[in-house]
Structure 1
Amino acid sequence: MDLQFDPSIPVEAATTPPAVWYTDPRVLELERRNVFEKAWVAVGRADQVAEPGRYFTGDVVGNPFVVLRDESGKLRAFHNVCRHHAAVVAQECGKARELVCPYHGWTYRLDGSLRTAPRMGRMEGFDPKEFGLPPISVATWGPLVLLDLDGHAGGENNPRDLAIDAAPLIGPLDELGFEHMRWVERRTYEMNCNWKVFVDNSLDGGYHVAYAHEGLAEGLAFDGYRTELFERSAIQVCESSGADERLGEKVVYAWLYPNLFINRYGRMMDTNIVYPTAVDRCEVVFDFYVDADVPDGDDLQEWAAKRRLRKAIGASHVIQNEDIEICESTQRGLGSMSFRTGRYSSQLERAVHAFHGMLYRDLSCEATSISSESPRGGSV
């Protein structure tokens, strides 16, 4: 497969990737193997596993996982697949002393080792020590938990270092209290679009805001909108116009490749994690946080803070629904026989262009091994 994109062409002269990047299941398969299974991917929150025995589960591009805190307090992650017949072991989230497969009762300790395999009878060549849950590299960054599914992000010949990848974002976010935010609510949105449509939309330098988000646009001073690009991340900063008190003095939109957005504004922060679920569908998980010193109780001051919080989350919900509408519209257009490639705004869409370059570099190492025939939506 020829990906038909040259990241060396400057944004002023470049065309966007062909529509098949967003409509061809073979591209999604490339992304599964070369992006999501070989990068640090945000999957949850540290407060979900704050105590020994606490765990949560999830799935990244068809890979069920479980993240837990073991008895000694060590954070661990495993592929959540029983070594017997591949059933998913841990369910949803909670607290446990051990993990028991609901299919045949194989039981695993919180360090991943196999504790019991009942009613197996006489067996040859079976060493229980070799049948523990396969470990996954896990790390925390501020309130977030991230996984490296293959155990060495990027592969043995191309290891990824989370600290290096996130380094450009750490200082600016820490200045805004990123490490000490308090989680308050989660909302999950199902979208009928390719995951990259959501990423493109969020990285477009505010280009779509004036047209798709009338309410938000009134609160931002676009003349001061600026974008900073880094090797595996970007920051977009926009001063507030003062029309929307929830935004504070400025809004900071941070992005870590491939799928994590951190949006800081006023006394709040929300994180958006986008997961592909099909070539034309994705799931976006929003977690909302407030500054640690925002009152949280039952007196009048706390009730006032809670009302402001509910209002802010409600405003975010409206904005996300507007984004869903425009992203799903874009996905429909990408399937048209009339569209193959587009162009970038050199003024605003530099981060989108950079994202496509990062993605191309991850995909191109394997793409040539795939047949050049493609479904409707553009030739490859």
Structure 2
Amino acid sequence: MKPTILNDEFFASFESSVASIEQAETLPPACYTSKEFYEFEKEALFNHEWLCVGRESWVPQPGDYFTSSIVGEPLLITHGQDGQLRAMSSVCQHRGMLVAEGRGNTRGFVCPYHHWTYALDGRLVNAPSMGKTCDFDKQRHGLPQIKVEVWQGFVFINFDEQATPLAPRLSALDAVLERYALGEAEDQPPESPGRYQWNWKVMFENNNDGYHANKLHHGPLHDFVPSSLARFPELPEDTAGYFRWNGTLHGDASFNATQKALLPIFPKLTEQDRKQMVFANVPPTLSLVLTADMIIYLILRADGPESLEMDTGLLLAPGATADPAFRHKMAINMAGAEEIMAQDWHVDELVQVGLRSRFAPRGRYSWQEGAQHDFNKWLVPRYREGWQRLRTQQA
């Protein structure tokens, strides 16, 4: 029997990852590669934290719905006829078939297997040929409901019925994002998810890494966002997210060959806002890159210790798509963004390979990796709490 890595000594070793950044070291490599640790994370994090599953704008009309899946749980998000946004399991309560796939608009959900029919709020409204079944009560067989909350236009769910609200713990991020007015932005939703063969934390760490900005991405598409202009705020201890500002060498900078914003600027931004970018994470599922004319959002769904699925979408200033040249300007923007992301994803892939090595380090941090340190400060207390819960259950 393979020995477990989950023990007091292993979790005590996390203390060095939340020391001051001048003294801290990275998490143990097993946190990124071990199936056992991923299963632990599912309970310690994903069963209790708020998980982003999409945008409210994906279901603007009554009857609209979209589906998702995270850590093996199929989900259904609906806009009810009563105007309510709901999250529920998409698993039919008869034999386990999924009642919906993809996105669409409907009056209700008919399970294709045996035609059990559910309302938009998850109530079971019809179950054919169940009249002879003893004590069968339709009210007891609705789709299981899941806590849902909307923050900045993003839809979050939580499997923990006792979870505290998300928004109050994102006040520090709200103050930074307020002038971008994400809830009013035009959404360019993802067409289809991408699949990637690395740990979800590798992706999070790279997405908000000020240290590599003009090293890995050295060249005309990124040199105007130098690592030396990264700034990391003091955050509340109970924060549910973290961010960095990164100054730019000129105003209205954007990741394209012109180095300047081509699309309309978010109208409420100040002069200071327009001289910097914001990189924000709401772990374990949402990452944002905010420029003066475009916001890239990444919705991550871990599905294994070394794999994840991710939606990549865009938010634009109101009216951006009305420009007759919008398609051409967007093509220029995306050419730059895609080149940068390809560099990042190649690194993510090779970092994952390196983390499997017997020589994988617990490295030290530069001051420009403040966001990685903030991520550790989010992770480690939750790992400790999860370990204590597990020990209590095993006692």
**Counterpart for residue 172 of structure 2:** 168
Kept in 2, the 8 Å contact 1:57–1:65? The answer is yes
Task: Give the 5 Å matches for 1:286-325.
Answer: 286-296=312-322, 302-325=323-346
Deviations 1:7-34 (A, max 9, x none): 5522222221111000111111122122
Shift of the alpha carbon at 1:295? 4.7
Shift of the alpha carbon at 1:368? 6.3
**Counterpart for residue 5 of structure 1:** 14
Give, in whole Å, the separation in 1 of the partners of 2:276 and 2:390: 46
**Which of 259, 278, 303 is the aligned partner of 2:304?**
278
Q: Does 1:72 align with 2:82?
A: yes
Compute the TM-score of the two structures, normalised by the length of structure 2: 0.85
Kept in 1, the 8 Å contact 2:187–2:313? The answer is yes
Compute the TM-score of the two structures, normalised by the length of structure 1: 0.88
SS in 1 for 2:315: strand
**Which of 238, 241, 244 is the aligned partner of 2:259?**
244
Kept in 1, the 8 Å contact 2:166–2:240? The answer is no
Give, in whole Å, the separation in 2 of the partners of 1:295 and 1:24: 45
Shift of the alpha carbon at 1:261? 1.4
SS in 1 for 2:326: helix
Kept in 1, the 8 Å contact 2:194–2:310? The answer is yes
Q: Bigger CA drift: 134-143 or 326-335?
A: 134-143
Kept in 2, the 8 Å contact 1:229–1:235? The answer is no
Q: Bigger CA drift: 249-258 or 315-324?
A: 249-258
**Which of 199, 203, 216 is the aligned partner of 1:198?**
203
Deviations 1:282-334 (A, max 9, x none): 122111121003251xxxxx232332222112221211111110001000000
Aligned-partner residue type, residue 303 of structure 2: T
**Counterpart for residue 361 of structure 1:** 381
SS in 2 for 1:132: coil
**Which of 24, 43, 48 is the aligned partner of 2:34?**
24
Kept in 2, the 8 Å contact 1:180–1:292? The answer is yes
Q: Number of residues paired by the alignment? A: 358
Deviations 1:55-107 (A, max 9, x none): 00000111111001111111111111111111111111100101111222111
Deviations 1:162-211 (A, max 9, x none): 1112211112211123231101242633211100001111232x211222
Question: Which consecutive residues of structure 2, in runs of 5 or more, have no partner in the other structure?
Answer: 1-5, 251-257, 263-273
CA RMSD for the aligned pairs?
2.0
**Which of 207, 211, 216 is the aligned partner of 2:215?**
211
Give, in whole Å, the separation in 2 of the partners of 1:19 and 1:370: 21
Q: Bigger CA drift: 229-238 or 50-59?
A: 229-238
Question: Which consecutive residues of structure 1, in runs of 5 or more, have no partner in the other structure?
Answer: 154-159, 297-301, 372-380
Kept in 2, the 8 Å contact 1:245–1:266? The answer is no
Task: Give the 5 Å matches for 1:128-207.
Answer: 128-153=138-163, 160-186=164-190, 188-204=193-209, 206-207=210-211
Deviations 1:206-248 (A, max 9, x none): 2112222124432214432211242222121122223610395
What fraction of aligned residue pairs are identical, expressed as a percent? 29
Kept in 2, the 8 Å contact 1:31–1:363? The answer is yes
